[in-house]
Amino acid sequence: MKELIIKVEGMVCNGCENRVQNALKTIEGVESVVASHINKTVKVTVKNEVTENVIKEKIEDIGFKVKED
């Protein structure tokens, strides 16, 4: 298991958080998701075989922007 913290732009409310969380939970190997529009982050716990790119692509597919450091 590994924990990823991804910065996300475009989440402005609890509805946005729910949308991101529900989308990421559809990915096989995702154990838990906590999105925060206040912190502009998504914390994802995944099995080791799940790559960060898969998570980022799903976030962008539903209309949010992943912010790279």
Q: Supply the CATH number for residue 24's domain.
A: 3.30.70.100
Q: In this model, does residue 60 exceed pLDDT 80?
A: yes
pLDDT of residue 68: 85
Residues 29 and 47 sit within 8 Å (Cβ to Cβ): yes
Domain count, the chain: 1
Domain limits at 37? 2-67
Q: Give yes or no for a contact between 11 and 63, defined as CB atoms under 8 angstroms apart.
A: no
Give the pLDDT score at 3.
Answer: 97
Does 69 score more than 80 pLDDT?
no
Please report the beta strands in 1-69, taking only residues with DSSP state E, as ranges in sequence order: 2-9, 30-36, 41-46, 65-67
For residue range 6-56, list pLDDT tens digits in order. 999 999 999 999 999 999 999 999 999 999 999 999 999 999 999 999 999
Angle at 50 between CA 44 and CA 55, to 5 degrees: 50
Q: Which pTM was predicted?
A: 0.93
